Amino acid sequence: MREDTIIFWHRGNSWYLKVALEQAAKCNDNIVLLGDEKNASTWDNYYNMDELPDERYFYVLEYCKRMKLDRIILWDSDLLIYKNFTQYFAGKIRAFSHTLSEPEERAISPHCSL
Structural domain span for residue 24: 5-106
CA 112/CA 22 separation, integer angstroms: 20
Domains in the chain, number: 1
Q: How confident is the model at residue 53 (pLDDT cuts 50, 70, 90)?
A: low
Report, as an integer, the average pLDDT of 68-78.
85
Q: Does the residue 111 lie in any domain?
A: no
CA 108/CA 100 separation, integer angstroms: 8
Q: How confident is the model at residue 54 (pLDDT cuts 50, 70, 90)?
A: low
Output the pLDDT for position 60: 83
Could you tell me where the DSSP H helices lie in 68-108? 85-89
Output the pLDDT for position 80: 92
Output the pLDDT for position 42: 82
User: Whole-prediction pTM value?
Assistant: 0.74
